[in-house]
Amino acid sequence: MGADDDVEAAGADGGFRSPIGRKYRPVLANDRAVLEMSSIDPGSSSSSSSVIPDPPPNLRKINVGSSSSASSDAKEGKSSHPPQPNGPQQDSKLELFGFDSLVNILGLKSMTGEQVAAPSSPRDGEDITIPAGLPKPPALRLGTMMGVFIPCLQSILGIIYYIRFSWIVGMGGIGGTLLLVALCGTCTFLTAISLSAIATNGAMKGGGPYYLIGRALGPEVGVSIGLCFFLGNAVAGALYVLGAVETFLKAVPAAGIFRETITQVNGTTIAQPIESPSSHDLQIYGIVVTIVLCFIVFGGVKMINRVAPAFLIPVLFSLICIYLGILLAREDHPAEGITGLSLETLKDNWGSEYQKTNDAGIPEPDGSVSWNFNALVGLFFPAVTGIMAGSNRSSSLKDTQRSIPLGTLAATLVTTFMYLVSVIMFGALATREKLLTDRLLTATVAWPFPSLIKIGIILSTMGAALQSLTGAPRLLAAIANDDILPILKYFKVADGSEPHVATLFTAFLCSGCVVIGNLDLITPTVTMFFLLCYAGVNLSCFLLDLLDAPSWRPRWKFHHWSLSLVGALLCIVIMFLISWSFTVVSLALASLIYKYVSLKGKAGDWGDGFKSAYFQLALRSLRSLGASQVHPKNWYPIPLVFCRPWGRLPENVPCHPKLADFANCMKKKGRGMSIFVSILDGDYHECAEDAKAACKQLSTYIDYKNCEGVAEIVVAPNMSEGFRGIVQTMGLGNLKPNIVVMRYPEIWRRENLTEIPATFVGIINDCIVANKAVVIMKGLDEWPNEYQKQYGTIDLYWIVRDGGLMLLLSQLLLTKESFESCKIQVFCIAEEDADAEGLKADVKKFLYDLRMQAEVFVITMKWDASVDPGSPQDESLDAFTSAKRRIGDYLTQMKASAEREGTPLMADGKTVVVNEAQVEKFLYTTLKLNSIILRYSRMAAVVFVSLPPPPLSHPAYFYMEYMDLLLENIPRILLVRGYRRDVVTLFT
């Protein structure tokens, strides 16, 4: 269509109608879409106020699909610019990029990962609306300090530091404890570096580590580790609540409702009673505290931000009191066993002194608990967990790419440094016996308010519990919002909303663990879940950094794949150091969730690292294969399945179901790939959208039929040209399809489709020229599915050398359940004067060397144009007579047409040379072969026969007659032609 035609296509409404019938409205300078995304001065258009009035303050929609004012202006010629087919001159630049680009620029949703439908150009009768007006008020967003640093600090600083850290120094010694802190701190520091790299590689939604792991390692791994991490946070909340309640009841014994149980500890110089609160008190107070924290979480981010300092500030004051007490211990009337900071004490406590203790941790020669470095790792590591507390709240952060790295690394370094300093101070402060017997040494040495330590313990544990009850529901809601597991649909939340249902569920889990009371068996598993999550983060960064995909551009530059690998290995080592049995249990649980997600979950393509790894592995494998000939030992059938030719199917069935079943029969144990292709007749520009829809439909059907393959739709003027393009270009290197599979056109004569013979013969010739093997199926409707068991024989009529393709296909059939009860028979067709016995022996030896079990028959026959009256079946003779008559009539018409036009014999658009004697010989040959097949293989489950190539000088109509006569009365037969390459080999 030329420019003049374009002008004429512009309607009265100012729209532009494309050659394929779609109407486009020109983009005007006064359109709100243009004014909002470009630097055009709104006042430059004199008619802007008349076309689009000022919007009210509330939200409304602007219709940009049509504009009556613009149309009238176009009619009346009010525009100062001459009329253009695409609108005013200043808008032609925008129109050049198309209307879709304007929608994308305004929305930008596709770049932030939101699932929105791809914008399409408006069609006839369609409008596009763009929201305008005041935007929705944004939810409260947190900065680095309140959003990441303080939550991480509250989660890391817990009860272990206050009541067990000095004991760990006494048991493991200063040197061993420094090594312990360095080991655990290095693990969390490397994890924080990996977390920083992934979190700065793009926009991050809610879900924290789950979001990062899922997008890097795939939905199955992400959901399995994410759910384990959620359980770990929920149960950790119960641990923190019980720690706070137990400390409170010890500080205020009168608050106990039930009578306390007192255990007297003997065998030490400093014998003191250990008071244990009643388990019922722990349960009652624990549930009350959980409910109070749950209400705080229900208050949302604002409430949490207001309460968090109230939990943190007393903790910081308690730490100051501890350090002041350590520095002033000698002057401030020290208790028995406290020497103050002393170099002599430092030397005495440098080495380890592992010994047995009772359940309370007090040394006893006959104690039930044995300690070593591995056990101390399991006891101390929960003191460094909590680095994910900030990333768990990623949906509430202003700038995740800045806040998560700075806040997480700062909290990790501050707490690790504090632990290392505390190791030296505690080791130089008191004797080993005091370190091992005084569980509240921090309160003993605190100055000037020892009681503040107990308040610090209570508030630190409650702050950690608050962070767990805040992060866990958001993590569960993020998993539910991804819609991978339908069972989690009840925990979905809208963007910016609080996960109330997930919070209730988390509080229920936490309360249940509090009621159980004894969490000694669950605590190591919780630690394993944290370590499993850390390992997942490190592996994610390792994979992404190693693959280095073009999309991997993190803002955090201080990372390397080797550091992530070391971090992941360190997490695994620590897991086994703590407890190999709990490691196995946690890995088994994650594996069960992974399997459940694989079976029940919805497919999700997040562009994860494994997809990138598969892609690079495929490219590397393709390059290593090269384009050279594949060795027969490594040969796999790669069928090109021609889906819809010569058979009527329902519109919603893009491929004959039995054709898909046969494609599966060509694979051994499912290994291999099929390419399903179909051709749409028409112009590519007009049919591109239809081709995409057809390809999606065909791909869905392939998945439904459990075929390992891909779908391709090609648009071409006709089937012949389309197939010729497919056979030349489909595939890459040695992964090009090597077998063309299609249905025999049985309908060509029944429905008088005169164009089929030329197309069918052209496809066969194209395959021969392109060096592709061919398998043509007749009786496709009778082909068995995977549940229909077949008995009898698979008969092979091996007439010409085909590289062993026919033999290999028959062996592949035997690997399927439907054909596994069949036996193979090989019929060799030989000349009458050939050495039949010698040929039979050679074929048997050949099959034996190929490790193929088959019975061999040699049939001799004459190939001349003579008929043994007793040999052919009566129905074959009738078909022979009819075919001979039709060929004669067709030849007469060809001759008459040639004489009338004064040209040589023409058929299928080319000159042909017809040797009538040769035509008759071909007819007799196919008649004899058909008679032999009917005699020996009438009851066979399936018959294979060599496909004769189309004679070069014969019309396609003649070849179809030969083929019809060959296949007459045979219900299920495969025509096979090899391709000048061996697909089997005798050698190992």
Q: What is the DSSP string of 570-598?
A: HHHHHHHHH-HHHHHHHHHHHHHHHHHHH
Q: Residue for token digits 């649909």? A: 489
pLDDT given for residue 971 in this prediction:
86
pLDDT given for residue 69 in this prediction:
39
- Contacts (Cβ under 8 Å, ≥6 apart) of 12: 71, 75
Same structural domain, 595 and 634: no
Let me know if residue 839 belongs to a domain: yes
Angle between helices 279-298 and 219-251 (to 10 degrees): 120
Amino acid identity of residue 41, one-letter, is D
Same structural domain, 637 and 596: no
Cis preceding-peptide flag for 119 (omega within 30 of 0): no
pLDDT given for residue 379 in this prediction:
87
Specify which of 239-253, 398-412, 725-739, 916-930 reaches the highest per-range mean pLDDT: 398-412
pLDDT given for residue 410 in this prediction:
95
Same structural domain, 414 and 558: yes
Same structural domain, 576 and 635: no
790-803 mean pLDDT: 86
pLDDT given for residue 66 in this prediction:
40
Task: Name the token pair of 667.
Answer: 């694979």
pLDDT given for residue 888 in this prediction:
86
Domain CATH number, residue 741: 3.40.50.620
- Terminal Cα distance for the chain, rounded: 64
Same structural domain, 585 and 686: no
Same structural domain, 522 and 647: no
Lowest-pLDDT range of 293-297, 523-527, 683-687: 523-527
Structure-derived torsion over alpha carbons of residues 877, 881, 884, 885, reported in degrees to the nearest 10: -170
Domain CATH number, residue 225: 1.20.1740.10
Answer with the one of 746, 778, 810 that is the final residue of a domain.
778
Task: Name the token pair of 496.
Answer: 């910016």
Let me know if residue 129 belongs to a domain: no
Distance CA 904, CA 953 (A): 13
8 Å CB contact between 147 and 408: no
Let me know if residue 784 belongs to a domain: no
Same structural domain, 748 and 887: no
Give the number of domains in the chain: 3
- Smallest CA-to-CA distance from 56 within 136, 131, 134, 138 is with 134
Let me know if residue 786 belongs to a domain: no
Same structural domain, 451 and 377: yes
Between residues 599 and 84, which one has the greater pLDDT?
Answer: 599
| Whether residue 601 has pLDDT greater than 60 | yes
Same structural domain, 400 and 310: yes
8 Å CB contact between 673 and 637: no
| Whether residue 396 has pLDDT greater than 70 | yes
pLDDT tens-place string over residues 419-459: 999 999 999 999 998 999 888 888 888 888 888 888 888 88
Percent of the chain whose predicted confidence (pLDDT) is above 70? 79
Same structural domain, 808 and 771: no
Structure-derived torsion over alpha carbons of residues 300, 301, 307, 312, reported in degrees to the nearest 10: 140
Same structural domain, 675 and 713: yes
Task: Name the token pair of 155.
Answer: 């989660």
938-957 mean pLDDT: 88
8 Å CB contact between 237 and 325: no
pLDDT given for residue 522 in this prediction:
64
Let me know if residue 428 belongs to a domain: yes
Between residues 919 and 12, which one has the greater pLDDT?
Answer: 919
pLDDT given for residue 510 in this prediction:
92
Angle between helices 609-625 and 209-217 (to 10 degrees): 20
Q: How confident is the model at residue 752 (pLDDT cuts 50, 70, 90)?
A: low
pLDDT given for residue 627 in this prediction:
61
| Whether residue 940 has pLDDT greater than 50 | yes
Angle at 770 between CA 769 and CA 773, to 5 degrees: 100
Percent of the chain whose predicted confidence (pLDDT) is above 90? 21
Same structural domain, 826 and 729: no
Q: How confident is the model at residue 535 (pLDDT cuts 50, 70, 90)?
A: very high
159-170 mean pLDDT: 89
pTM: 0.66
Specify which of 69-83, 87-101, 137-151, 704-718 reaches the highest per-range mean pLDDT: 704-718
- Tell me the three state secondary structure of residue 263: strand
Containing structural domain, residue 749? 628-778
Let me know if residue 25 belongs to a domain: no
Specify which of 138-152, 240-254, 692-706, 725-739 reaches the highest per-range mean pLDDT: 692-706
pLDDT given for residue 260 in this prediction:
57
249-272 mean pLDDT: 64
| Whether residue 302 has pLDDT greater than 60 | yes
379-396 mean pLDDT: 85
Lowest-pLDDT range of 249-263, 507-521, 859-873: 859-873
Distance CA 470, CA 233 (A): 9
Answer with the one of 735, 752, 778 that is the final residue of a domain.
778
Distance CA 942, CA 795 (A): 7
Distance CA 172, CA 182 (A): 14
Lowest-pLDDT range of 4-18, 336-350, 366-380, 434-448: 4-18
pLDDT given for residue 879 in this prediction:
80
Let me know if residue 115 belongs to a domain: no
pLDDT tens-place string over residues 900-939: 887 777 777 777 878 888 888 888 888 888 888 998 988 8
Let me know if residue 77 belongs to a domain: no
341-358 mean pLDDT: 90
- Smallest CA-to-CA distance from 305 within 463, 189, 420, 198 is with 463
The mean pLDDT of the chain is 78
Q: Which long-range contacts (CB under 8 A, 24 or more apart) does 835-840 make?
A: 836/860
Q: How confident is the model at residue 306 (pLDDT cuts 50, 70, 90)?
A: confident
